């Protein structure tokens, strides 16, 4: 039985922990800056670490589920960061969508730790249902170990290649999702101008060849307005990261970038 540490018990992390406890195959230890968020899981048998150092020392596999690169960098490095306190051979699985350069920095700085980038696609309901998509990038052995752990809440789990490749795939996915969302919003605006009811239009399109994951998510949350409020904080971050990475690597994404930037939604 592996010791699985978990840091980032928030909107997405909490149902992941719940599924890990449901499966019961690993000893689960948690850390949160607000310990009260861990109380429901501790009541079900999870351990509670008093610090990141303590969590790291108690982890064979450490899952980190944070929003952004700055959060990951702040908590990974330094005397109080988790990296310096992980045992030799421990595996870090980062669910953060961000720059591949950061996970490379983590791997190079702490060679005694094996790193897997594991960005996710889906929402909290997908996690509760065990159908979250997880992409895994890294060496085969740690990826296999990560697959065994995240399988508690993920299906499908897709290995994408070397360390950082999963983040590249996820950033391109989110750039495409942003573009599809803009196309959908523009189509809905055209429908409104033509006198069509938005909900009726979306219901019809979802059964036609113009459907998309963006359209299905819009319908799931009840329309374009709540959709924009929920997804734009994530898309702004990830589209900006994708654009910066493409510029750094000299790769043209002008067409899809143009669609993502120029539509009616505030995703850039």
Q: What is the pLDDT of residues 40-76, one digit of tens each?
A: 999 999 999 999 999 999 999 999 999 999 999 999 9
* CA-to-CA dists, residue 26 to 19, 39, 88, 109, angstroms: 11, 18, 19, 28
Statement: residue 8 has pLDDT above 70: yes
The answer to whether 268 and 240 have CB atoms below 8 angstroms apart is: yes
CATH code of 3-161, in short, is 3.40.50.720
pLDDT band at 126 (very low <50, low <70, confident <90, very high): very high
**CATH assignment of 168-262, given 3.30.70, 1.20.1070, 1.10.10, 1.10.1040?**
1.10.1040
C-alpha angle 56/81/165, rounded to 5°?
85
Statement: residue 268 has pLDDT above 80: no
Q: How many residues does the chain have?
A: 268
Angle between helices 198-206 and 213-221 (to 10 degrees): 140
Residue 263: the pLDDT is 86
d(CA 68, CA 86): 21
> Where does the chain hold its CATH 3.40.50.720 domain(s)?
3-161
d(CA 100, CA 132): 21
Torsion angle of the four alpha carbons 67, 70, 72, 74, in this order, in degrees rounded to the nearest 10: -140
> Where does the chain hold its CATH 1.10.1040 domain(s)?
168-262
Percent of the chain at pLDDT exceeding 90: 94
pLDDT band at 1 (very low <50, low <70, confident <90, very high): low
């Amino acid at each position: 039985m592996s010791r699985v540490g978990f840091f980032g018990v928030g909107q997405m992390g909490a149902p992941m922990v719940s599924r890990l406890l449901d499966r019961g195959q690993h000893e689960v230890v948690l850390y949160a800056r607000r310990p009260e968020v861990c109380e429901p899981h501790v009541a079900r048998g999870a351990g509670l670490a008093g610090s990141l150092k303590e969590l790291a020392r108690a982890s064979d596999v450490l899952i980190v589920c944070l929003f952004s690169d700055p959060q990951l960098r702040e908590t990974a490095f330094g005397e109080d960061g988790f990296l310096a306190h992980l045992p030799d051979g421990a595996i870090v699985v980062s669910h953060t969508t961000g720059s591949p350069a950061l996970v490379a920095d983590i791997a190079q700085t702490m060679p005694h730790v094996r790193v897997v980038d594991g960005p996710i696609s889906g929402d909290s309901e997908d996690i509760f249902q065990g159908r979250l998509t997880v992409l895994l990038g890294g060496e085969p052995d740690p990826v296999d170990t990560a697959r065994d752990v995240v399988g508690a809440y993920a299906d499908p789990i897709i290995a994408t290649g070397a360390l950082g490749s999963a983040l590249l795939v996820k950033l391109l996915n989110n750039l495409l999702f942003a573009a599809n969302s803009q196309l959908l919003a523009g189509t809905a605006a055209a429908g409104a101008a033509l006198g069509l009811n938005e909900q009726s239009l979306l219901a019809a399109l979802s059964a036609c060849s113009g459907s998309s994951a963006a359209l299905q998510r819009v319908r799931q949350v009840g329309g374009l307005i709540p959709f924009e409020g929920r997804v734009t904080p994530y898309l702004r971050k990830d589209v900006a990261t994708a654009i910066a990475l493409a510029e750094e690597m000299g790769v043209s994404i002008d067409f899809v970038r143009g669609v993502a930037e120029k539509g009616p939604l505030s995703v850039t």
